[in-house]
Amino acid sequence: MIADALHGRRLLVTGATGFLGTALVERLLRSVPGCELVLLVRAGRRSTPQRRVQREVLRNDAFDRLRADLGDRFDEEAARRITVIAGDVGMDGLGLDDAGRAALASCDVAIHAAAAVAFDSPLDRAVEVNLLGPTRVAEALRSAGSTAHLVSVSTCYVAGNRRGRAGEVAVFDTPFGPKPSWRDEVAAARRARADTEAESRTPPLLARFAKEARAELGAAGIPLLASRAERFRETWVAHTMVEAGRARARALGWPDAYAYTKALGEQALCETRGDLPVTLVRPSIIESALAEPRPGWIRGFRMAEPVIITYARGLLKEFPGIPEGVVDVIPVDLVVAAVIDAAARGPKPTPAPAIVQVASGSANPLRYRHLVDMVHDWFSQHPLYDAKGQPIVVPRWSFPGRGRVQHQLQRAVRAIDLAEKALGALPLRGSQARWAADLEERRAEASRALDYVELYGAYAETEAVFAVDELLARWSTLDATDQASFGYDPGVVDWDHYVTQVHLPSVVEHARVRVTPGSRTGPSRSQRLRDRVLAPERHLAAFDLENTLVASNVVDSYSWLATRRLPPDERLRFALRTLAEAPALLALDRQDRGDFLRHFYRRFEGAPVAQLEEDATQLLSHLLLTKSFPAGIRRVRQHRRLGHRTVLITGALDVVVERNLAPLFDDIVCARMSPQASRGDRGGPRWNGELTGAPPTGEARAQAMADYAEAEGLRLEEAVAYADSASDLPMLEAVGFPVAVNPEIRLAAVARKRGWLVEQWSKSPGGPRPLLPIGPVTQRTSFARRPAATAAVAERGRDR
């Protein structure tokens, strides 16, 4: 019996935190009570291997059945039977310490299930893990003095893009196809990584990444732009390595880098294993459980699930495939049983390793058209529902060629990109910015569908039929008890029942999609986010001013102050001159907010201090209040009632905001301007148009908020920030609860991606709506009429 054969044995398991590995650990603990496990687990960024096993493995719902059986003894039993060691199959020597090597030496069987399973892994990552991983495990066992039987999990798709029967033979034991050297492929992949990294640092590409960062974030400040540009560089490197893997795999006859590196991994293991006994287990596409640990159990989304959910949401109108072809899927519990059986049997008494394929296509085929029809009919009877509570009608696929579907989706992505660029050039914000955010969501959906076609289309068009002669021969030797406890005969799967009663319900449950009609009950997502923002435990609420609390900006304030004392004809000329300057001012603002403010505030040079202070007082009632957002003012007061510290952080001048808005906030951080040195001017001191320090914009605004929080003993993770522009991203990203208010296009897109609260605040209805922000006429002289100041501003404009 299988359980008896493994009684008292110690089994090394790699890949325990993955889908197959978790199911394997659970089954061994539950069905082979006499064995002990050594789990080789890579440390996380902030987590030890032991903590990862507790959180990612033992707390998984796969163990619910075993927890119910053992009750309070579960933790004790797991601690007694499981030893966790730190290691990484992507490193030479597995990165083991002395304790890890000692644990390896004590193992009787090693099950290597770790893999980079993504079909779009970067080439070098797939090579290090899939190609070299099995060889590293074998070498580590030999170095530790172990003669353990190594059961290495591979994939049926090492057969490549062949047609017809694919037997249980070594990858290159066929008269067809190339026979690359795995050593040459490893060296080439590592060179490709080094070359790609070097290319990504060349001046043309660095300039491109910086341009892309600015196009996405605008004037967000140099540190954030540099960080985003570096992310663009890293993404470019990863994408280039993914494409390198795809290109090399397809050139050699494999559908992707996963199958290609798995095939070469088998070759490398067979060449380097020495006397170490080896069995290769090749599953086909592993899907949710048929019965163990419970029907439909799955961990994460595999290959088919993203395609199924995207189709059910009505977003995948077509998908390639051969309707009469076979989709070779196998439930995970059948694969687990076959692996445990291989471990219990021991190695085959032959020079070459035993090869066991765990597949369904030859013994119990599931035709592609039948699968698609079942999925269509099931979602027609059990539809998903859109945001309005309406059922989503799923399309009928016509099985076009992969190239045709790819071209259609590529054209759609390009068209949406052009539309996004056109919208991005417009000064849209608030509800209008949703157009761009909606467009970006459409592009993401089209890009996702294109990725699925490129990644999985080849598997829907495969014409290989995987033989399972060795699997069925082993099955026939099991007694009735083992066949009942460790079933792996693919012929027992009733595909209609499995797909419609087991797999699809499980996929929908795990996808967390909407399955009920009508309006949603309970608070909306925005209300839930708002409740968190206004929770009593928040510490600090930081507010931007312009377009966040008032529909105004520094140009409006200056125009009002400058024209307040101009005669009507001069006011008209001023308005026309300002309108003519608008495009240049907008461009400078988008380039660098701090430079824009310095440039603009120089227009105050020579303005009488007393006159500006007097006029600024009138500015509150004539401009700021009429353009204020009542909901924003209420929000400030709500925070103060809750005991939160409130601070206004704005690039507006102190003479404007401190006189008018100080009662609303606990503190104000703003731009400050100093008066000129006294020269005996009549009328008292005058402003020099120069700021006393860096204006609080971009990263300076975030730093000002951080300094304020530190001085007041407040924690930024419990702080809230309100702003309207991508230039405010440093401040928004610094807090635990960012809120985008009437966001412009770039910020609207970022807020949607990151799930931030978005508020749409508007002015009070019925108030005055002047076409231009110009002040009422008075009889006194305006500082805007001073020729010297006007000439100086014009000269500086030419310099820029």
Q: Looking at residue 385, what DSSP letter applies?
A: B
Q: What DSSP assignment string belongs to 592-631? A: -HHHHHHHHHGGGTT-BHHHHHHHHHHHIIIIITTTB-HH
Q: Tens digits of per-residue pLDDT, 491-516?
A: 999 999 999 999 999 999 888 888 88
Q: Looking at residue 501, what DSSP letter applies?
A: I
pLDDT at 449: 77
Residue 794's pLDDT band (boundaries 50, 70, 90)? very low
Share of the chain above pLDDT 90, in %: 52
Contacts of 184 (CB under 8 A, 6+ apart): none
Indicate if the pLDDT at residue 136 is higher than 60.
yes
Residue 521's pLDDT band (boundaries 50, 70, 90)? low
Share of the chain above pLDDT 70, in %: 89
Q: Looking at residue 291, what DSSP letter applies?
A: S
CATH topology of domain 2-180+252-401+461-510: Rossmann fold (3.40.50)
Tokens representing 41? 């687990």
Number of Cα atoms under 13 Å in the Cβ half of residue 668: 20
Q: How far apart are CA 773 and CA 666, in angstroms?
A: 29
Question: What is the average pLDDT across 53-76?
Answer: 94
Q: Say which CATH architecture domain 529-770 belongs to.
A: 3-Layer(aba) Sandwich (3.40)
Q: Looking at residue 318, what DSSP letter applies?
A: -
Q: Tens digits of per-residue pLDDT, 189-244?
A: 999 999 999 999 999 999 999 999 888 777 777 888 898 899 999 999 999 999 99
CB 236 within 8 A of CB 200: yes
Residue 769's pLDDT band (boundaries 50, 70, 90)? low
Name which of 159-168, 432-441, 641-650 the model is least confident about.
432-441
Provide the b/e sequence for 767-799 (b: ≥16 CB within 10 Å). eeeeeebbbeeeeeebbbeeeebeebbeeeeee
Q: How far apart are CA 667 and CA 650, in angstroms?
A: 11
pLDDT at 791: 35
pLDDT at 107: 94
pLDDT at 677: 64
Provide the b/e sequence for 656-685 (b: ≥16 CB within 10 Å). bbbebbeebbbebbbbebeebeeeeeeeee
Mean per-residue pLDDT of the chain? 86
pLDDT at 792: 36
Q: Tens digits of per-residue pLDDT, 453-470?
A: 777 777 877 888 999 999
Question: What is the average pLDDT across 715-732?
Answer: 91
Indicate if the pLDDT at residue 793 is higher than 50.
no
Question: What is the average pLDDT across 731-751?
Answer: 90
3-state secondary structure 21-73: HHHHHHHHHHHCCCCEEEEEECCCCCCCHHHHHHHHHHCCHHHHHHHHHHHHH
Residue 153's pLDDT band (boundaries 50, 70, 90)? very high
Where in the sequence of the chain do the CATH 3.40.50.1000 domains occur?
Answer: 529-770
Q: How far apart are CA 713 and CA 246, in angstroms?
A: 53
3-state secondary structure 552-566: CCHHHHHHHHHHCCC
pLDDT at 768: 57
Which range is most confident: 99-103, 150-154, 315-319?
A: 150-154
Q: How far apart are CA 470 and CA 476, in angstroms?
A: 10
Q: Report how far apart, in Å, the C-alpha atoms of 774 and of each of 550, 568, 611, 619 are.
A: 16, 11, 16, 10
404 vs 176 pLDDT, higher one: 404
pLDDT at 373: 94
Angle at 732 between CA 728 and CA 733, to 5 degrees: 115
Indicate if the pLDDT at residue 566 is higher than 90.
no
Question: What is the average pLDDT across 674-690?
Answer: 73
Q: How far apart are CA 716 and CA 662, in angstroms?
A: 23
Q: How far apart are CA 29 and CA 36, in angstroms?
A: 8
Name which of 3-17, 98-112, 432-446, 659-673 the model is least confident about.
432-446
Indicate if the pLDDT at residue 536 is higher than 90.
yes
Q: Tens digits of per-residue pLDDT, 333-375?
A: 999 999 999 999 988 777 889 999 999 999 999 999 999 999 9
Q: Tens digits of per-residue pLDDT, 256-304?
A: 999 999 999 999 999 999 889 999 999 999 999 999 999 999 987 766 7
